[in-house]
Amino acid sequence: MIKADTNTVLPNIPLRKKPWRLRIRPYLILLPSMAVLLGILYPFITAIYYSFTDISFRSTTYKFIGLGNWLGMFTSADFWHAILVTLEYSLSVIVLEMVIGMILALLLNNDKWYSKVLNVVLIFPLMVAPVIGCLIWSLMTNNTFGLMEKFLNIFGVYGFPWGASSQTALLYVIMIDVWINTPFVLLLLRAGLQGLPKSPFEAAKIDGGSAWFNFRRLTLPLLKPVIMIALIFRSVAALQEFAIIYSTTKGGPGNTLTNLSLLAYQTAFPYSNLSKGIPMIMVLWIIINFASKRMVGVYNQTRQS
Amino acid sequence: MKKKVLSILLAAAMAFSLTACGNKNQPADSTPAGEPSSGEAAGGETTGDAGEFSWDKFAGQKINIMFVEHTLTTDMINEIESFEELTGIEVNYTTIPEANYFDKISALLSSQSDTLDIFMTGPYQIWQYASSGYMVDFDTFLNNPSMVDPGYHVEDFYEAVLNSCRWSCNTGEAMGSGSLWGIPLNFEADVMVYNKRLLEEKNLQVPTTTEELTKACEALQNHSGNGTYAFACRGSLSWATLITAYQSFYTTYGGTDFELGADGKMVSTVNRPEGVEATEWFVDLVKKGGSSTWASTTYAEAVGDVGAGTAAICVDASGSCLSVCLENASEEWENLAIAPIPVAKAGQDPMTQIYSWSLAMNNASKAKDASWYFIQYITMPDTLHDMFVAESYSNPTRQSTFESEDYQAILAGVDGYIEAFEASVDNCTMYYTPNSHAFEVLEGWCQTIQELVEGKYGSTQEGMDKLADTLTNIVNQ
Amino acid sequence: MAENLVLKNLYKKYDTNGKKKQAKEQPWAVHDLNLEMEQGTFVSILGPSGCGKSTTLRMIAGLESITQGSIFMGEQDISSLHPKDRNIGLAFEDYALYPPLTVYENIAFCLRAKKVPGEEIDRRVREIAKTMKVEELLDSKVSGLSGGQKQRVNIARALVRHPKVLLLDEPLSHLDGKMRQILRGEIKRLHHEIKCTTILVTHDQMEAISLADYIAVMKLGVLQQYGTPDEIYNDPANAFVAGFIGDPPMNLLRVKVVEDASYTYAFELGDGSLLRVPEKFYRVIHTGDVFDLGIRPTSITIVEGEEYDARFKVDLFEFLGEERSVGIQINESLLNIVYNDNRRFAEGDIIHIRVNPDLLFLFEPESGERVRPR
C-alpha cells in the first residue's frame, strides 16, 4: 500500500530566468497606449514650459520671462470672474441634471407603455452634437419666427432676450446643457436601478413605508456607486464646458458667461496671447484633477459597503 | 516602486527631448517685412529676371491655398481648373469657416510653415501679420513688368480701396500708405437699408442726420405690433460688431480711438467728449429703437429682420444690406431701399468704415511667384467681373466691374444703391488706428457698449473712462 | 370566529402582458385551491418545483395578484389589501435583507416606516433579536453574515411587527446540513414560544414532516392531500403523495392480478415473480386488473425460513452506514429493500422476503388514486 508522506519540505529549485522574448511582451503590449500617452504628454509639458515664456502668434521668437504670466493672471479681475462663472455654471448644471435624472429614472423604471416610449425618445438630445443643439435652440428662440417665441407669446411675453441679456443668459445656457446632458444621467441611473436586487424591494413593500421613505433608506444607499459615476462624469465635463457657451453667446453678453475654458481660448487665440492663456487652462486642469480625485475616492468607499 | 520611478523618468526624458527638437529660439531667417527675397536660390522663391511676361513660366510648381467661407470662395474654386490649365501650376486648397479661420492662419503663419502659400485676410489681420513679418509686399511683383500681365491694369482698382491694404507698419501711423500687403477682392462700406412702406405709414422722411434717426426710431418702435422694432444693427460680442454701424456713427461725431503720446506709446482717446457723445447717442438709440436681443444679434439676423419686416431700418455693411434688397431675396424686398448713413451734423459727408477681403501671401512660402500668378489670375478684370455678376455681389474693387453693363443692370433694380455707393466710396477708409492687439481692443470696446446698454455704469463717461484705461493697457502690453 | 386563514377557490395564471392568445395556452399556476388553516397551527405547503407552493405563499402575502378566488383572515377578506396592511410577515427564500443597512436597521425598517417612536423600536428590536439569538449581530452590516445568521435576521424582521400569520419561503434550502438541523430546531422552538399561525413552504418532505402540524401536498398547482404528517405518511391519498413522502421513497411497482394455484390471488410483478395478495384486498380486485403497488423499503423483511411471500435475486447491495440497502431489478424499476442488521448480500444471491400486509398500498394505474380495502 502506498504511504502518504505528510511532512515534505519543498526542494529549493532555483527559478530560471524567462527568455527575453517573454519578458518584453508586457511592454510591447503596452506600446500603443504609451504612444498615445506621449502624444498627450508632449503638448502638455511643452505648454507648461511655454507658460513661462512670452510666446504668441504675433512673433516668431519668444523668450523666457519667469512667473510673469502666472502672477498677471492671479491679479486680473477677469480671471476671478471666470472662476466664479465656471463654478456657478457647473454647480447649477450638475445639481439640476442629477435631480431631474434621478426623478425621471425612478418614474420610468417600469414596463408601462409610456416608459418604453419615453426611455427611447428622451435619449435623443444626447445624440445631437452640442453645437447643433445650440443651433436648434437659437432657431427656436429667434424673436421673429422661433417656436419658443411663439410659445411665450401665448403668455403675453414678447421679445424675451434669452442669451442677449446678462440676467437671462446663464439660465439660457443652463437650460440647453440640462436638455443635452440629462439623458446621460438618466441612462446611467436607470441601468443602476435595473441592476438592483428585486427581493429587498418586495420586503420593503411588505414592511410598508411611503415611497419617499423607501427611496431615502433603501434605494439611495444602494445606488450610491452609480450616482457617484454619473456625478464624476458630469462634473468633469461641466467644469470645462466650452462648446455650449461658445455656440450660444461666445461668452457674452459682456463677460457674463466667460468661464475658464472660454477665457483661456479667447486669450490664446483671438487675442493672440498664447502664453497668457496657458496658465488659465492649467488652473482649470488642477481644479478638475482635484475634484475628480476626491470623487473617485468617495466612489471607492461606496463600493466597499 | 522602482519600476514606477523608472517609467516616469523615461517618459519625461522622451518628452523633453522632443521639446528640444521643436525649439524655436532662434529668430526666423526670413527677411524682415517689406523687403523682397531676391537673390536666394532656395526652391523658386526668387522673382523672375527681367523679360517678357508669360503665364507658364512657373509650370510644375505647387501652391496651397486656405480659403475662408466667403461668398466669392466658390467662384474662386471654380476658376482653379482653368488656372491650372493655363499655367501648369498645381493648386491644393481647403476652406475653413470664418469663426475659426484666423486661429488656424495665425498658428500656421507664426510657425513659419511653408504648407500655406495663399490666404484671405481683412485689414485688422494685416496689422498683426504684417508687423510680425508674416506677409509679402505685393509692390515687389507689381513693380516688375515681367511678372505682370499687360491686361492686369492695377490702376483699375479703386484707389481708396487698394490703399486700404497699405500700411507702413509704424506704430500709430494710419493705413493708406506703405507696402501693399493684399490685393482686395471686395470691400465693404456701410449703408442704411430701410423699409419705404413702414416709413410712409408713419409719415417719415428718410433720416439724414443722427437726430432725425433717433426721432424716426422713436416713432417706428413696435410699428407693427409686439416684437417688431425700429433699428437693427450688430450687437453680439465680437470685434466685428464695432466695424460697421457703430464705427460709422462714432466717426461722424469726431470720435477717435488712439493717439500717439510724446513717449511713443499709444494712449486711448475713447473718453474724449466726442467719443462719449457718440457712444451715449448710440446706446440711447439701441435702447429706444433696438431689439431686446440686440446683444446677441449678428449681421445676418440684423438684415434678416429688415427683410422679414420685423425691423424698419438697419445700418450695416453694404453687401449684407444689398443682399435683402435683391429680387425675391426676402419678404419685403420690394419695399426696401438703400440710403447713405445719417451723419452727426447736417451737410457732412458720410464717413463709413472700410472693410475688405483680400488675397495675401505667406512670407514663409516657398512658391511665391506661383502664388502671385494665382492671385493675379483671380483679380484680372474679366475674372473679377464674372464672379461679381454671378453672385450679384456688392462693392467690386475694380471700376471696370462696377461700370459694366450687366452689373449696373443688377444694381439698377435696387433703389438708391448706386447713389449711396458713389457717395461713400471716396470717403471710405480705415478710421481705426492700426495696432497688433486689434481684436482684444475691439472686443473689449464691444463689451463696454453691451454693459452700457444694460445700464451697468452710472454714466457713459464712467464707462468710457474705464474702457480708455483698459485699452491703453492692452496696446502697451 | 378565530383568525383562521382560509383560501377559497384560489386560481392563479401568470400574466402574459395582454396577449390573449398566449394567455389561453398558459397553464394554471394554482388551480382551485381550498385550504383552511386554524389559528396558531403550523402548516407546511409541500411539493416539487413548479407545483405552485411559492405562488400560493406570495398570493397570501399580496406580492402576486389573485386571478380568481379569495383569501380570508377570520372574517376579513384580505384578497385586495396592500401587503403592508395584511398583518403578515414574510421571510424570503434569499433572505432579501437590506444591503446597505445594519442588522438593527433591517429589523427596525418596518417600525420606522410606520413611524413608531424610537424607544419602542429599540425595545421591540432587542426583544425579537433575543428570541432569534442575533443580539450580538445587531450592529453588524448584513453583507458579512453567514447563511444561518442571515436567515435568523430574516425571520426576526418578519416577526418584529407581530404579524397574525408568519410566512416562511423555503427557509432551510440554502443552508448546509448542520445549519439546517440547528435552524429547524429553532423554528420549532419559535413556534412553541410565539404560537403564531405559520405557513412553511418547502420541497423537503423531512422538513415538512418534522415541523408541521398539517401538510398540504401540491403538484402542478393542484392540492393532492391535506392532512397531518401521520396521515400523509401512512394513509396517502394517491400515488404521487405516497411516492413523494418518505426517504428512501416508496417502491411503486406495476402489478397484474393473477390467479395462482398456491395463493388464490397473487400480484404478478414485471419480471414474473409473484407476491401473495393480502386478504383485505380480495373484495376490490379481479383477475386481470392492473394496479400500481406501493410498499416502503423499510416495510419489507428478508427472512430465512420457509414462510415467505416472494423470492428474488439480488442485483445491488449498498452499505449506507446505519442501514443496508438491497436492490432488485424488475424491468426498468428497482425494488428497494432497506434494513438495519448486519447481514450482507452479494449480487446474485437468492433472498426470501415477507411483506407486512398493513403496509401495502394499491393505486389506480392512470389516475394514481388510492384503492382502499373494504
Using DSSP, state whether C53 is helix, strand or coil. Answer: helix
Are A213 and C113 an interchain contact pair (Cβ–Cβ within 8 Å)? Answer: yes
B41, part of any domain: no
Q: Mean pLDDT: which of A221-235, B337-351, C125-139 is highest?
A: A221-235
Asked if residue C291 lies in contact with residue C257, where contact means CB atoms within 8 angstroms, the answer is: yes
Q: Which partners does chain B have (≥3 C-beta pairs < 8 Å)?
A: A
In degrees and rounded to multiples of 5, residue C60 shows phi and psi of -65, -40
Residues recorded for chain C: 374
The CATH number given to whatever domain includes residue C309 is: 2.40.50.140
**All 3 cell numbers of residue A167?**
440676467
The CATH number given to whatever domain includes residue B294 is: 3.40.190.10
Give CA torsion, residues A188, A189, A192, A198, to 10 deg: -150
Closest in B16, B227, B236 to A143, CB measured: B227
Q: A107 CA to chain C: closest CA distance, Å?
A: 20
Asked if residue A104 lies in contact with residue A187, where contact means CB atoms within 8 angstroms, the answer is: no
The residue among A219, A218, A228 whose CA lies nearest residue A303 is A228
Count the domains in chain B. 2
Could you give the C-alpha distances from A94 to A89, A181, A261, A302, in angstroms and in order? 9, 10, 17, 20
What is the widest separation between alpha-carbon atoms in chain C? 84
Q: C264 CA to chain A: closest CA distance, Å?
A: 59
B115, part of any domain: yes
The residue among B398, C360, B100 whose CA lies nearest residue A246 is B100
Asked if residue B356 lies in contact with residue B181, where contact means CB atoms within 8 angstroms, the answer is: no
In this structure, what DSSP letter does residue B202 have? T
Give the domain extent around C31. 5-244
CA–CA separation, B349 vs B394, rounded Å?
A: 21
Q: Rounded mean pLDDT of A83-109?
A: 94
Last residue of a domain, one of C199, C223, C244: C244
The residue among C233, C257, C237, C260 whose CA lies nearest residue C247 is C233
Q: In what order do the strands lie in the sheet with B118-121?
A: B90-96, B62-68, B118-121, B355-361, B183-188
Same domain flag for C97 and C222: yes
CA–CA separation, A112 vs A117, rounded Å?
A: 9
Closest in B18, B128, B292 to A159, CB measured: B292
Closest chain C residue by Cα to residue A212: C113
Interface ipTM > 0.85: no
For cell 407546511, what's the residue?
A: C44
Residue B268's H or E segment, with its range, is strand B266-268
B20, part of any domain: no
Write the DSSP string, B17-34: HHHHHT---SPP-SPPTT
Q: C136 CA to chain A: closest CA distance, Å?
A: 20
A47, part of any domain: no
pLDDT tens digits, residue range C58-79? 999 999 889 889 999 888 888 8
User: Which amino acid belongs to residue A94?
Assistant: I
One pLDDT digit (tens) per residue for chain B, 477 residues: 666 666 666 655 555 554 444 444 434 333 333 333 333 333 344 444 557 888 888 888 999 999 998 888 989 999 999 999 999 999 999 999 887 898 899 889 988 888 999 999 988 889 889 988 899 999 999 998 888 988 898 899 988 888 889 998 887 788 888 899 999 998 888 889 999 999 898 888 888 888 899 999 988 888 887 778 999 999 888 888 888 889 888 988 888 888 888 887 888 998 899 999 999 999 999 998 888 888 888 888 898 889 988 899 999 988 888 888 888 888 888 889 888 888 888 888 778 888 889 999 999 999 999 999 999 999 999 999 999 888 888 788 898 988 888 888 888 878 788 888 877 777 778 888 888 888 889 988 998 999 898 888 889 999 999 999 999 988 887
Same domain flag for B301 and B450: yes
CA–CA separation, C290 vs C306, rounded Å?
A: 29
Beta strands in C74-125 (DSSP E): 76-77, 88-91
Task: Give chain A positions within 8 Å (CB) of B456.
Answer: 254
CA–CA separation, C187 vs C159, rounded Å?
A: 12
pLDDT above 90 covers a percentage of chain C that reads 14
Q: Which partners does chain A have (≥3 C-beta pairs < 8 Å)?
A: B, C
| Burial class (CB within 10 angstroms; exposed 0-12, middle 13-18, buried 19+) of A287 | middle
The whole-number pLDDT of residue C16 equals 64
Nearest 5°: the CA angle C64, C70, C74 is: 110
Are C83 and A208 an interchain contact pair (Cβ–Cβ within 8 Å)? Answer: yes
B43, part of any domain: no
Asked if residue B270 lies in contact with residue B471, where contact means CB atoms within 8 angstroms, the answer is: yes
Same domain flag for B137 and B210: no
Give CA torsion, residues C117, C122, C124, C125, to 10 deg: 130
In Å, how far from its chain's centre is CA C20? 35
Task: Give chain A positions within 8 Å (CB) of C95.
Answer: 199
CA–CA separation, A30 vs C119, rounded Å?
A: 61
B17, part of any domain: no
pLDDT tens digits, residue range C36-52? 999 999 999 999 988 88
CA–CA separation, A146 vs A138, rounded Å?
A: 8
Asked if residue C196 lies in contact with residue C190, where contact means CB atoms within 8 angstroms, the answer is: no
Give the domain extent around B206. 190-349+437-475
| β-bridge mates for residue B267, sequence order | B259
Same domain flag for B79 and B183: yes
A300, part of any domain: yes
**Residue A23 burial (CB count, 10 A):** 10
Closest in B103, B128, B295 to A164, CB measured: B295
CA–CA separation, B30 vs A228, rounded Å?
A: 56
Q: C133 CA to chain A: closest CA distance, Å?
A: 21
Helix axes B438-454, B460-475, angle to 10 degrees: 160
**Interface residues on A facing C, Cβ-Cβ cutoff 8 A:** 111, 197, 199-200, 202-210, 213-214, 217-218, 221-222, 224, 305
Same domain flag for B414 and B470: no
Last residue of a domain, one of C244, C279, C307: C244
Could you give the C-alpha distances from B299 to A245, B324, C239, in angstroms and in order? 20, 12, 93
Q: Is the pTM of this model over 0.90?
A: no
Is C217 or C22 the better-scoring residue by pLDDT?
C217
The whole-number pLDDT of residue C263 equals 62
Q: Rounded mean pLDDT of A139-143?
A: 85
Are A153 and B106 an interchain contact pair (Cβ–Cβ within 8 Å)? Answer: no
Asked if residue C338 lies in contact with residue C248, where contact means CB atoms within 8 angstroms, the answer is: yes
* Contacts with A21 (C-beta within 8 Å, 6 or more apart), sequence order: none
Q: Rounded mean pLDDT of C262-271?
A: 78
The residue among A216, A166, A222 whose CA lies nearest residue A194 is A222
A253, part of any domain: yes
Touch of B by C (3+ CB pairs closer than 8 Å): no
From the candidates A110, A201, A207, which should be mutated to test the interface with C, based on the most C CB atoms within 10 A?
A207
Task: Give chain A positions within 8 Å (CB) of C96.
Answer: 197, 199-200, 202-203
**All 3 cell numbers of residue C178?**
448542520
Same domain flag for C240 and C94: yes
The whole-number pLDDT of residue C94 equals 87
Count the domains in chain A. 1
Give the domain extent around A224. 69-304
User: Which amino acid belongs to residue B464?
Assistant: M
What is the widest separation between alpha-carbon atoms in chain A? 103
Touch of A by C (3+ CB pairs closer than 8 Å): yes
| β-bridge mates for residue C265, sequence order | C259
CA–CA separation, B137 vs B99, rounded Å?
A: 26
Closest chain C residue by Cα to residue A305: C100
Using DSSP, state whether A294 is helix, strand or coil. Answer: helix
Last residue of a domain, one of C219, C244, C269: C244
Task: Give chain C positions within 8 Å (CB) of A213.
Answer: 112-113
C-alpha count within 13 angstroms, C-beta hemisphere, residue C156 = 28
Touch of A by B (3+ CB pairs closer than 8 Å): yes
Q: A169 CA to chain C: closest CA distance, Å?
A: 42
From the candidates C54, C98, C162, which should be mutated to test the interface with A, based on the most A CB atoms within 10 A?
C98
Same domain flag for B385 and B339: no
Same domain flag for C221 and C257: no
Q: A136 CA to chain B: closest CA distance, Å?
A: 15
The CATH number given to whatever domain includes residue A81 is: 1.10.3720.10
Are A217 and C101 an interchain contact pair (Cβ–Cβ within 8 Å)? Answer: yes
Task: Give chain A positions within 8 Å (CB) of C98.
Answer: 200, 203-204, 217-218
CA–CA separation, A239 vs A233, rounded Å?
A: 10
The whole-number pLDDT of residue A188 equals 94
